Amino acid sequence: MPAVKARCIAPTGAKRTRFREAPAYEEGLWDLGNDLYSWMVPNGSWGESNAGLVVGDGESLLIDTLWDLRYTQSMLDAMVPIFREAPLATLVNTHADGDHFWGNQLVETHVERITSDAALAEMELHKPGSMLAFEKLGIALKSLPLKQASRVGHWFSAMCLPYAFDEVRHTPATTTFSGTAWREVGGRRLQLIEVGPAHTTGDLMVYVPDARTLFAGDILFIGSTPVMWAGPVENWLRALDLILDLDVETIVPGHGAVTDKSGVRTVKAYWEYTGGAARDQFDKGVPEQEAALRIVQSQDFGRQSFANWDSPERMMTNVHVLYRYYQGRTGHLSVPAKVNLMRKQALLAHKLPHATPTMMRREDASL
């Protein structure tokens, strides 16, 4: 963890991450000070997402749930001592990816569930059945006597292995807003700031001015390669500039370690670099799949501060979305197009055998 004031007060005791890597920090409930908490899941790979808790006088607000019920329940159990004094009144989902809202069903029905208008619309496209189908496809591909199919199947299966999607019931938010909104939690004023489309169509962040703290959702990935499903990249850069302009000291990312503005600058550098490199490849007429490979295997990329981040193969998705904008194409990817994109990403992962998580990219790493 960086030099922000935070300590783990309820560790899970996990000795390995969900993808069997050495954890860069403890998994569990972290005290950020000022009656703020974060649930931290190392090292920020697929589904290794963070959540937050803001405590006011006699009530509290939860920021995000997790990808399945087992992990969400573990988080909620650790928060029980806090809920006894400040019962949970509000849940904010920062966007529509399942690893930030699929645990919603474990939150009591009287708790208000808030997200942005755009995120709620996108939640209808992100139901548990999609990941169950993805998992089954991985198993089927692994059994095929074709090297590329087997590699794709391994990557698909490894992504799903830590999670139990069959237990999840689709439970989206119920209250929405657009732009910005102020909420009060036990006398504390919080600002909900919509910054999407960027990572997804409806990204939002939660700002706690009295504590100079921001819960950034997936606008920030720290130590883990960010992925852009919606874009444009200019919106993401504007969101990062907005954070840099805020009076904020402590920042909880959607994935990775608690950070400060130095972490924001590094993510900004990633998107500036990626946008420039992709544009260069596009202008040269290089197909997107080859462009992504060229970028991540280049000596120039290897010299960057983000070169060793988890899951560099996400460059495939990022280049694809950037190319779509260069070509004037926008809108949601179809399901077949998204699966095909993940197939390309899996194949790129196997060309980066020294990256993490190791178990996703090496078939000799048993599942």
Rounded distance, CA 204 to CA 152, Å?
32
Q: Per-residue pLDDT for 198 more than 80?
A: yes
Condensed to tens digits (0 to 9), the pLDDT of residues 115-174 reads 999 999 999 999 999 999 999 999 999 988 888 999 999 999 999 999 999 999 999 999
Dig out the tokens for 202 from the structure.
Answer: 């409806």
- Nearest Cα to Cα of residue 288 among 325, 328, 319, 313: 319
Count other C-beta atoms under 10 Å from residue 197's C-beta: 20
Angle between helices 261-283 and 288-297 (to 10 degrees): 130
Condensed to tens digits (0 to 9), the pLDDT of residues 6-23 reads 999 999 999 999 999 999
Q: What is the pLDDT of residue 367?
A: 59
Residues forming beta bridges with residue 251, ordered by sequence position: 214, 259
Q: What is the pLDDT of residue 1?
A: 44
DSSP 49-81: --EEEEE-SS-EEEE---SSHHHHHHHHHHHHH
Count other C-beta atoms under 10 Å from residue 136's C-beta: 13
Place of tokens 């202008």: 283
Rounded distance, CA 244 to CA 225, Å?
20
Mean pLDDT of 195-208: 97
Q: What is the pLDDT of residue 2?
A: 47
Condensed to tens digits (0 to 9), the pLDDT of residues 306-342 reads 999 999 999 999 999 999 999 998 877 788 888 999 9
> CA distances (Å), 181 to each of 175, 178, 287, in order?
12, 8, 42
Q: What is the pLDDT of residue 147?
A: 86
Instruction: Provide, rounded to the nearest whole percent, the portion of the chain with pLDDT above 90.
Output: 92
Dig out the tokens for 270 from the structure.
Answer: 């990633």
Pair type for strands 175-177 and 112-116? parallel
Q: Per-residue pLDDT for 363 more than 80?
A: no
Whole-angstrom Cα Rg for the chain: 20
Place of tokens 């966007």: 95
For the chain, give the mean pLDDT.
95
Q: What is the pLDDT of residue 365?
A: 60
Could you tell me the domains of the chain? 7-126+165-260 (3.60.15.10)
Res. 364 pLDDT band, cuts 50 70 90: low
Q: What is the pLDDT of residue 346?
A: 97
Condensed to tens digits (0 to 9), the pLDDT of residues 136-148 reads 999 999 988 888 9
Q: What is the pLDDT of residue 3?
A: 47
Burial of residue 278 (CB within 10 Å: 0-12, 13-18, 19+) is buried
Rounded distance, CA 135 to CA 132, Å?
5
Condensed to tens digits (0 to 9), the pLDDT of residues 260-276 reads 999 999 999 999 999 99
Residue 20 identity (one-letter amino acid): R
DSSP 234-272: HHHHHHHHHHHHS--SEEEEEES--B-HHHHHHHHHHHH
Q: Per-residue pLDDT for 293 more than 80?
A: yes
Q: What is the pLDDT of residue 333?
A: 79
